[in-house]
Amino acid sequence: MANQIAVEGYEAFMSKISELEEQKKEIYCLFSGSVDPQSGKNWCPDCVKADPVIEKCLPNMPEGAVFVHCHVGQRDYWKNKTNDFRVHPKLKLSGVPTLLKWGEPKKLVEDQLFNPDMINMMFED
């Protein structure tokens, strides 16, 4: 089973990625909405729907890989077209949830993450 790490926000994500790159780890990243402090629920309905599908696929990740689940912040921050996640040259996120392999152009976005076959194919490549 892959090592799973959860981080909140851009700075925490970049810090963790730097640490994992130094360790020469294979890294898969899931970006999703954050939990709203008032409701206690994730503001992103697609993220809520995708989470259990992704969770079931995690045992198929390559041996020794690291899974970083990054919460991108609250809805207002995410909707800002110039937020750090959208403009970072290696990320260029267009939607959440997004699953990607760090350092590679392939990514699965939004309703693609409702399909376990697509997730497992990403883990196999």
Q: Could you read off the pLDDT of 5-28 as tens digits, one per residue?
A: 999 999 999 999 999 999 988 999
Task: Inform me whether the pLDDT recorded for 2 exceeds 80.
Answer: no
- List pLDDT tens digits, range 38-96: 888 999 999 999 999 999 999 999 999 999 999 999 999 999 999 999 999 999 999 99
Contacts by 44-47, CB closer than 8 A, 24 or more apart = 44/75, 44/78, 44/96, 44/97, 46/95, 46/96, 46/97, 46/110, 46/111, 46/113, 47/96, 47/97
- pLDDT number for residue 65: 94
- Which of the residues are catalytic? 44, 47
- pLDDT number for residue 1: 54
Class of domain 3-124: alpha beta
Residue-range domain boundaries for the chain: 3-124
